[in-house]
Amino acid sequence: MPALKNDRYLRALLCQPVDYTPIWMMRQAGRYLPEYRELRAKAGSFMNLCQNPELACEVTLQPIERFDLDAAIIFSDILTIPDAMGLGLHFETGEGPKFERPITQLDQIKNLPVPDPEQELRYVMDALRTTRKALNGKVPLIGFSGSPWTLATYMIEGGSSKSFTKIKQMMYAEPEALHLLLSKLAQSVALYLNAQIKAGAQSVMIFDTWGGMLSHQSYQDFSLRYMQEIIANLDRGIRPESGTQGYVPVTVFTKGGGIWLDKITGIGSDAIGIDWTMNLSDARTITNGKPIALQGNLDPSVLYAPKNIIDQQVEQVLTEYGAGNGHVFNLGHGIHQDIPVEHVEQLIASVHSRSKRFHQ
């Protein structure tokens, strides 16, 4: 593989010096881009895009070809593991993901297989291999998975939820059953991410989208514990003191998880993603003295604003983090599908130009 031409993102994750703050965006390959919408229409369905390695590669590269981003993230979905377990994932227009066979009882959990990443999920690995080659060292490639808790919410609720009553019922009434499911998912995610690393991912991320709806103790028992277990089983190499040298950093992101930042710092990740509800200065104070980078945290809705307001908001985020290394600029969650493309261009240019003085 060719050497990286731009490794700022990886260096920032390792709290190493960079000349400006690197930026990528959650959901940067997706519906806000006209070229994505065109390709999605040709493919016929979202799952056709995900399960075709060449098309997934094309979608991954679309924002990299259009914008001066500092990392690419493989185009896929967080629900690939439950789908590979046989739950029958499908997407209904306007309603999001649905499972034909949601989890309702212990016997189902006992019978769930642990997917082989190079068999049932080979299309993801092929997409990573194809994309890593196509990038030709331009920027690093990020792999990812949903967290066990987040995957379990979809598997038990049967799709998206606002109240999460079904999984919380299991959590309080049948905790042993839920722990068995989460343990099986943690094993599956670790295998999945290790296979992604082997296939070419240069950084991996765990998305804990729904951890923030848990109570304080439940978050530690049913979400954080299993992310820590995954990280302990990742084959990411030995963290270097300088340079990246083949090491694969891991980032964890719990939406709404800023209140647990002090707990998250102890699970072994290299970086922590935070959303817009937490001040970066406060977050940096909590992680002070630990070699942990912070990723975030612009409110995605800022990108609806005029360009001068985008500049002001970028300045605010950069100032909150302050001078020094260890910051990856990102949105506090995924980009909205109706954001103007020119506003994304403004965001990236603003981050690159305005952040230079924080790294002198």
Q: Do you know the residue count of the chain? A: 360
Please state, in angstroms and rounded to a whole number, the distance separating the CA atoms of residues 344 and 243. 29
Q: Which of 11, 40, 132, 236 is catalytic?
A: 40
Q: Which of 7, 77, 270, 275 is catalytic?
A: 77
27 part of the active site? yes
30 is in an annotated binding site: yes
28 is in an annotated binding site: yes
In one-letter notation, the amino acid at residue 137 is: G
333 is in an annotated binding site: yes
Strand segments, DSSP code E, in the chain are 72-73, 89-92, 96-99, 141-146, 203-208, 250-254, 271-273, 293-295, 327-328
Cα distances (angstroms) measured from residue 216 to each of 35, 70, 173, 329, 343: 42, 35, 18, 27, 37
**Cis omega (within 30 of 0) on the bond before 48?**
no
323 is in an annotated binding site: no
Q: Which of 36, 154, 192, 226 is catalytic?
A: 154
Sign of the alpha-carbon torsion through 233, 243, 255, 300: negative
31 part of the active site? yes
27 is in an annotated binding site: yes
66 is in an annotated binding site: no
Q: Which of 31, 66, 225, 284 is catalytic?
A: 31
Cα distances (angstroms) measured from residue 19 to each of 168, 311, 352: 46, 19, 9
312 is in an annotated binding site: no
154 is in an annotated binding site: yes
Which residue in 251, 244, 275, 276 sits closest to 265, CA to CA? 251
Annotated catalytic sites, by residue? 27, 31, 40, 77, 154
What are the binding residues? 27-31, 77, 154, 209, 333
What are the binding residues for substrate? 27-31, 77, 154, 209, 333
